[in-house]
Amino acid sequence: MNTLEWVGKMGTYEWVIDNINFRNKIDAWIQRLSDGSLTDQQIPVVKKYIGELIQGETEFINLVTEFKGRGNQILKLKYIDGLTLEVISVTLKVDDSVIAKKHAKIT
């Protein structure tokens, strides 16, 4: 499936979950790398895999950044950039109650 097909089939909420999955996989492999449970032969393979995951996450975030619409902006700022709804309202210059309602509607 190419990127446009993938984006066309994804709903707003699904891309948030996909980003969380990328981050969880990366964090889990970094933990395994640091806990000493890997053999010397596994370490370079795992490092390469972590690099591939990080590259995929970066491409994913770049793609999501191009999504249009206020809902997508709010979700990106909240779940990728880690901003609170209050900071998002200031960033987007929109009343915080509007942001909170929009967020509640799309999640």
Q: Are residues 84 and 51 in the same domain?
A: no
User: Is the pLDDT assigned to residue 32 strictly greater than 90?
Assistant: yes
- Pair 80, 63 in one domain: no
Do 27 and 58 sit in the same domain of this protein?
A: yes
What average pLDDT does the segment 2-7 reach?
41
Domain that holds residue 80: 69-107
* 31 & 80 share domain: no
pTM score above 0.85: no
pLDDT, tens digit (0-9, with 9 covering 90-100), for 49-101: 999 999 988 888 888 788 888 888 888 898 889 999 999 999 999 999 999 99
Which residues 6+ apart lie within 8 Å of 46 measured at CB? 29, 32, 33, 38
22 shares its domain with 47? yes
**Residue in this structure with the two tokens 């999640």, named with its chain if needed:** 107
Q: Is the pLDDT of residue 15 over 70?
A: no
Average pLDDT, the chain: 83
Q: What sign has the CA pseudo-torsion 17, 19, 21, 24?
A: negative
Residue type, 67: F
| Cβ contact 35:46 at 8 Å | no
Q: Are 102 and 71 in contact (CB under 8 A)?
A: yes
Pick the range with the lowest mean pLDDT from 18-22, 37-41, 75-79. Answer: 18-22
Per-residue pLDDT at 1: 37
Residues 73 and 61 in one domain: no
Residues 9 and 45 in one domain: yes
Query: Does 74 share its domain with 63?
Result: no
